């Protein structure tokens, strides 16, 4: 079914095809949703509603992978509260309600992007890396080596995979922003695409600006409707306008949201 006022958006119960724990409290969920698989662009998200229990509010989750042939979409999410805990308990064959695809994704016209991600921000970037078909490199950061389980997912999708950890247990010791200037100086990147903790994205956007490279950031805000109707995800942009992360984003040009 499409939504009456949003004919391009699908709302439907979708069968869980697979659910797997990738790392402590981080899950990979695959659901059957052929219409959304056909429409979803890298950087877009869906709102999931658990059908059992008293869950009225949906939970926003970025699209991590799409398989058009199988008609499936996948998500990678961390259990942080009761909604994601209930999501993690879904078994193959059970149903979850999916609304999407929502928001605006990343620009796809660039030839050599550098992806910079941290934490669960790497999830929508995984779909972007796949959609760029080997043209992108990735720089990812985590607190410890365990948090960099992501590198195994990006390895086949990207040319180079640069790694940092806060404690030096894998890759270069430090933050993504520690090594980013050198990577930008050595490479010929035409865009930096970033998602992760806001402090990281602000640092990444500043360094990209200093190197004269456009930067796209994917923001995360608490959401209710996900459709631009309730104002709960409003932000102030640098030119003084109010924008909604769910409808105008979640991907924005960095200069529009970070001064």
β-strands 242-244, 191-195 pairing:
unpaired
* Closest-CA residue to 226 (of 202, 249, 210, 242): 249
Answer with the entry of ligand FAD, ligand FES, none that 154 interacts with (C-beta below 5 to 8 A by kind): none
Of the pair 23, 95, the CB lying nearest ligand FAD is at 23
Residue 194, C-beta contacts closer than 8 angstroms, at least 6 positions apart: 115, 116, 117, 121, 200, 201, 204, 205, 215, 216, 217, 218, 254
Does 82 contact ligand FAD by CB under 6 A? yes
56 annotated to bind ligand: no
Residue 80, C-beta contacts closer than 8 angstroms, at least 6 positions apart: none
Q: Are 125 and 204 in contact (CB under 8 A)?
A: no
77 annotated to bind ligand: yes
Whole-number minimum distance, CB 222 to ligand FES, in Å?
8
Site string for ligand FES, 207-226 (x = CB under 6 A): ----------------xxxx
26 DSSP assignment? E
Please identify which residue in 159, 231, 236, 241 interacts with ligand FES, judged by CB under 6 A.
231
Q: Near ligand FES by CB under 6 A, which window of 73-81, 135-143, 163-171, 227-235?
A: 227-235
Strand partners, 48: 59, 98
By beta carbon distance, the residue nearest ligand FAD is 81
Please identify which residue in 23, 41, 84, 107 interacts with ligand FAD, judged by CB under 6 A.
84
* Assigned token pair, 183: 């990577």
Interacting residues with ligand FAD between 146 and 205 (CB under 6 A): none
Whole-number minimum distance, CB 234 to ligand FES, in Å?
7
Whole-number minimum distance, CB 51 to ligand FAD, in Å?
15
Whole-number minimum distance, CB 231 to ligand FES, in Å?
5
Whole-number minimum distance, CB 207 to ligand FES, in Å?
29
Please identify which residue in 32, 65, 83, 180 interacts with ligand FAD, judged by CB under 6 A.
83
Q: Where are the beta strands (DSSP E) in the chain?
A: 2-3, 6-23, 26-32, 45-50, 59-62, 65-67, 72-78, 95-102, 113-118, 137-142, 161-165, 172-173, 191-195, 215-218, 234-236, 242-244, 251-253
Interacting residues with ligand FAD between 17 and 76 (CB under 6 A): 45, 59-62, 75-76
Which residues here bind ligand FAD, judged by CB under 6 A?
Answer: 45, 59-62, 75-78, 80-84, 120, 123-124, 220-223, 250
Which residues here bind ligand FES, judged by CB under 6 A?
Answer: 223-226, 228-233, 244, 246
């Amino acid at each position: 079914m499409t939504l009456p006022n949003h004919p391009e958006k699908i709302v439907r119960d979708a069968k869980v095809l697979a659910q797997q724990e990738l790392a402590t409290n981080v899950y990979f969920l695959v659901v059957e949703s052929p219409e959304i698989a056909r429409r979803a662009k890298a950087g877009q998200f869906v709102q999931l509603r658990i059908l059992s229990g008293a869950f009225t509010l949906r939970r926003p989750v970025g699209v991590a992978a799409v398989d058009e042939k199988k008609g499936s979409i996948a998500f990678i999410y961390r259990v942080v509260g009761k909604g994601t805990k209930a999501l993690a308990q879904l078994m193959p064959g059970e149903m979850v309600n999916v609304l999407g695809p929502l928001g605006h994704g990343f620009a796809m016209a660039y030839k050599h992007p550098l992806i910079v991600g941290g934490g669960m921000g790497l999830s929508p970037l995984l779909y972007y890396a796949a959609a760029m078909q080997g043209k992108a490199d990735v720089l990812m950061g985590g607190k410890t080596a365990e948090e960099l389980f992501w590198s195994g997912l990006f390895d086949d999708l990207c040319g180079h995979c640069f790694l940092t950890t806060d404690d030096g247990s894998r890759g270069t010791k430090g933050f993504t922003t520690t090594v980013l200037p050198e990577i930008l100086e050595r490479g010929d990147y035409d865009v930096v695409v970033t998602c992760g903790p806001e402090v990281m994205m602000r640092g990444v956007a500043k360094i990209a600006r200093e190197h004269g490279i456009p930067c796209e950031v994917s923001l995360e805000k608490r959401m209710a409707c996900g459709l631009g109707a309730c104002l709960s995800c409003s932000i102030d942009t640098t030119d003084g306008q109010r924008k909604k992360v769910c409808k105008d984003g979640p991907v924005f040009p960095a200069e529009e949201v970070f001064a």
